[in-house]
Amino acid sequence: MSIRLKLTMLLSMLFIAAIGNVLFIYILDKNGERTTYWGVHTHKVITQVGDFMTAMVDAETGQRGYLITNDAEYLEPYYTGVSNAKNHFDDLVRKTADEPDQQQRLKNVGSLMEKKFDELAHTINVAQNKSDESISKAIEIVKNDAGKRLMDAIRFEMLAFKNTELLILEQRKGEFRENRAFINALIIFELMFFVFMSVVTGLFIKNKLYQPLKVLIEGTAKMEKGEKQQVSDLLPNDEMGYLLSRFYRMSETVHTKTEVLSYEASHDSLTGLKNRAGLKRDLEEAVAELSDDEKIAVLFADLNKFKQLNDTLGHDVGDAILAETAIRLNNSVRLYDAVYRLGGDEFVVVIKGITEVSQAKLVVEKMIKKFDEPFAFQGHTINISISLGVAISPDHSTDSDRLLSLSDAAMYEAKRDESVAYKLFDDSMIKAVERLSE
C-alpha cells in the first residue's frame, strides 16, 4: 500500500473522528451545564432550608431573651426572625414548585410555622404586662412543651425535606461522575486509536511516535524540577490535542463548580467562617475525642449594640463590622481552635486541647483585648465590643446542644452585667436554662 493511500486513509479517519469528537463535546457540554444547573439549584434549596431554620431559631431566641430579661431589645431578633422565616419559606415554595412531594411537606411546615408564631406572639403579649404574675404565666406557657413540640415537628419535616434534596443532589453528582468516567474512557479510546493508526501507517506515523516520547521526556524533566504539569504539555499540539484538552477542561470545570458549591453550603459567605451546619458535627467529634485529662471550652460571643450600629451607619458598615469581628476572633485563637458564625452577630468559638479552665480564660481575655482598638471604615471610627459566655466540657456537659445552651445563657448574664465582658457558666444560671429548655 502506497504512502499516499495510507495518508488518505489516515486523514479520512481523522476527519470522521474529529466530527465525532465535536458532537461528543457538544453533547457532554450541554449535559455538564444541565448537571451544574441542578447542582446549583439543589444547593440553593439546602441553603434556604438552613436559613429558614436559623430564622425560626432567631425568633424563638428573641422570645426567650425577652422572657428572661424583660428587655424590649430582644424583640428585634424575634420580629426579624419571624419576617425572615416567612420570606425563606416562600422562597422554598417557589424553588420546589415542580416537586409535588416537597410541596406537600412544605404545606405541613407552613401550618406548623403559623402555630409556632401564634404561640410565640401569645407569650410575648402576656409578658408585656411586665408583672411577675404575667411573666410567670408566659413562662408556664413555654414550659407546657407545646412550642417545643411544634419546633420538633418543624425540624423533623425540614430534615426530611433536606434529605430529599440531598438525595437529588447525590443523583446529580452521580450523573456528573458518570459523565466524567465516560470522558476519561473516550480519551483512553482516542489515545489507543492513534497508537493503532501509528502502527498501521508505518513510516508516516514514525514522527508521531517519537514526538510523544519527546514530550514525555520533557514532562519528566519538569517533574524532576518540581514544575507543575499542564494538560497541554502531555497532548499533541494539533487539532486532536485541542479536543482532548477541551475534554479535560470541561471535566475539571464541572468538578470545580461542584466543589465550590459544597464549600458554600457549609461556610458563611460574608466572613468565610464555618456556619451552623458544621458546628454541631465538629463539636460532637471534638467532645468524643477528649482524653481523660483534656477539656474543651465553648465560647458563645455576641456583639454589643450591633443593631444600633447597623441601623445608624447602614448595612454596609454592619457587614464590615461582622467581617472585622471574624478576623479579630480568628487572630485571637490558636491554630487548632475553631471559629463559627451562627448568624446575625452571633459567633461560637471552640477552644480545644486544654487541661485547665485557666487556659481557656487566657484565650478569652486575649480575645476581648483584640476589641480594644477602634475599627475604621469609610471615614467612621467605630468602637466594637463583645459579650462572651463560656461552658466547659466535660465539666458542665458532654452534649453539644447542651454546651451551646449553657454558653448562650452565660453570655446573656454577661450582657446583663455591664461590669464584665464574659462569664463562665455556673449553677446559678441553671434555672434560666432549664426553664426555657423544658
CA torsion through residues 319, 344, 406, 430, sign: positive
| pLDDT above 70 for 131 | yes
What is the per-residue pLDDT for 198? 59
Taking only the tens place, the pLDDT of each residue in 15-31 is 776 676 666 566 655 66
> Which one is predicted more confidently, 9 or 307?
307
Cβ neighbors of 164 (< 8 A, separation 6 or more) are 101, 102, 105
Q: Mean pLDDT across the stretch 378-398?
A: 92
What is the per-residue pLDDT for 137? 77
Please answer whether residues 51 and 44 qualify as being in contact, where contact means their C-beta atoms are separated by less than 8 angstroms: no
Q: CA dist 111 to 61, 155, 356, 434, Å?
A: 21, 13, 48, 28
Q: What percent of the chain has pLDDT over 70?
A: 74
Please answer whether residues 186 and 20 qualify as being in contact, where contact means their C-beta atoms are separated by less than 8 angstroms: no
| pLDDT above 80 for 394 | yes
Taking only the tens place, the pLDDT of each residue in 66-75 is 777 777 788 8
What is the per-residue pLDDT for 362? 93
| pLDDT above 70 for 109 | yes
Q: Mean pLDDT across the stretch 366-373?
A: 93
> Which one is predicted more confidently, 76 or 242?
76
| pLDDT above 90 for 259 | no
Taking only the tens place, the pLDDT of each residue in 191-222 is 677 567 656 555 555 565 555 556 556 656 76
- The grid coordinates of residue 80 equal 426579624
Rounded distance between C-alpha atoms, residue 39 and residue 37, angstroms = 5
What is the per-residue pLDDT for 215? 55
In which element (H, E) is residue 428 found? Answer: none
What is the pTM assigned to this prediction? 0.46
Mean pLDDT rounded to a whole number for the chain: 81
Residue 390 phi, psi dihedral angles, 5° rounding: -125, 130
Rounded distance between C-alpha atoms, residue 326 and residue 333, angstroms = 11
What is the per-residue pLDDT for 432? 61
Q: CA dist 267 to 37, 84, 203, 312, 347, Å?
A: 20, 19, 58, 28, 13
Choose among 389, 400, 398, 298: nearest CA to 350: 298
